[in-house]
Amino acid sequence: MAEAAVQEDQAFSPRILVFSTNNISDPGIDLAGSSHMHYSPNVMVISVPCTSGIKPSWILYAMEQGFDGVFIAADGEECAYLPDCGERTAGIMTDAQAMLVEKGYEPQRVRMAAICSVCAEPFTKYMHEYARSLADLGPSRKATA
């Protein structure tokens, strides 16, 4: 039984889009790569200046284009642009989850965590955990009513 679950996991490797910030989370993600920390090659990173500028519609668009999940690597309290960046980004997450549900997707397909410039190991762990939870959900497709 466990062998069948392993084969099933190997058959489906979720595609994850990561929104990362130029100044704070990008260096942490780059450090994961330069330190040879491994996570799925199906993780794609897009850099943005500040996570509070992400539009919920971008997350929906990513799902419609075949990504199985979207991860926001937020600056947390370290944002160089806005003192309330974390609160704004949390609001974007809430709006994105509502939009996903409205369009028939599971809200768990979007996730956020603060990733700093030295957070290579935490980022790698987040990607492994997130990939497992997305694998449990299966490929992204609109939920049937």
CA distance 89 to 95: 10
pLDDT tens string for the chain (145 positions)? 444 444 444 578 899 999 998 888 888 888 888 888 888 889 999 999 888 889 999 999 999 999 999 999 987 666 566 667 677 888 999 999 999 999 999 999 999 988 888 888 999 999 999 999 999 998 887 544 3
CA distance 141 to 144: 9
Q: What is the pTM of this model?
A: 0.84
**Whole-angstrom Cα distance, residue 5 to residue 124?**
22
- Structural domains for the chain: 14-137 (3.40.50.960)
Nearest Cα to Cα of residue 130 among 33, 11, 43:
43
